[in-house]
Amino acid sequence: DDLPNDTPASARIEMARVHDGAFELKLSNLATNRSYVIERSYELRTGNWNVIHAFVARDTDASWLDPLAKDVEMAFYRIREGH
């Protein structure tokens, strides 16, 4: 399913920015030992979300970087719990 559901999430995005040619994401309030996935889409209207990173939270805070190709003008990201 491409649409978010109404399940409450405790994780929070503390900061998101483009810095030195990469998209940087700082997360907080993660549940330790729980799986998460970060997805990206280049077109929000059609969805087409692709998992680009999956991880198990070892701490309640995490940082992540996605180097951006020079031809990328817009990208959308979301994080959700994995299975």
Supply 24's token pair.
Answer: 């940087």
At 10-44, the pLDDT tens digits run 788 899 999 888 999 999 999 999 999 999 999 88
- 19-35: b or e for each residue (b if 16 or more CB lie within 10 Å)? eeeebebebeebeeeee
- Predicted local distance difference test score (pLDDT) of residue 3: 54
The answer for residues whose C-beta is within 8 angstroms of residue 14's C-beta and 6 or more apart is 26, 27, 28, 61
Amino acid identity for residue 31 in this structure: A
Q: Is the pTM of this model over 0.85?
A: no
Q: Terminal CA-to-CA distance of the chain, rounded, Å?
A: 14
